[in-house]
A and B are shown apart, each in its own frame.
Chain A
Amino acid sequence: EAGVTQFPSHSVIEKGQTVTLRCDPISGHDNLYWYRRVMGKEIKFLLHFVKESKQDESGMPNNRFLAERTGGTYSTLKVQPAELEDSGVYFCASSQEELAGAYEQYFGPGTRLTVT
């Protein structure tokens, strides 16, 4: 079974440009999460999809960030326009719905975004 994949693995862009990150969750996982780790800080939650619906987007930093999950499969996270403070590693995770309420999230390798 393929794990969570993310593309690209690394992106270097200039301030003001646009970047789109992609995440392919594990097949059959309804739950998809985006997290971000800025250098030296905690990994912080950005948002959570259940299928194609946004369940919780309380962690999105501002309206320069737009996440979509059309059809409930892969997800994209667009940053437009990018700022220096957006640099960091963006992780995607997915999990299967479990009746017991317990779960584990499977993480992808992350996309390292560098804004210069």
Chain B
Amino acid sequence: AQKVTQAQTEISVVEKEDVTLDCVYETRDTTYYLFWYKQPPSGELVFLIRRNSFDEQNEISGRYSWNFQKSTSSFNFTITASQVVDSAVYFCALSDPTGANSKLTFGKGITLSVRP
């Protein structure tokens, strides 16, 4: 069975601080995909990144960066110089690779509050 653990439930930082959101996953599959989604107060889930299990390169997109380490089954997300607009719930998710376009297994989410 697949499982995603986001041990942090709530994080509060002051604007311009860096913050790392942790994600640990469990799967028996050798091929899988990992995702991060952001849920702002408006409610919709916004796709941030997709990473496949064969690509362990870290990725940077503006103030966002992701660290994928298969050895520790982790896919952590760092926001550099956080801003108030980053306040949201962040979900890490894992795909079930039984065929293309298959279901996601989510963690419980981390509520990030960035104070001015």
Contact = CB atoms under 8 A, between A and B. Distances in A.
B44 A103 contact: no
Nearest to B51: A102
A42 B106 CA distance: 6
Contacts of B46: 107
B73 interface: no
Contacts of A3: 44
A40 B108 contact: yes
Interface string B61-102: 000000000000000000000000000000101000101111
Interface residues of A, number: 34
B47 A105 contact: yes
Interface in B34-61: 35, 37, 42-47, 50, 52
B108 A109 contact: no
Contact of A48 (B97, B103, B109): B103
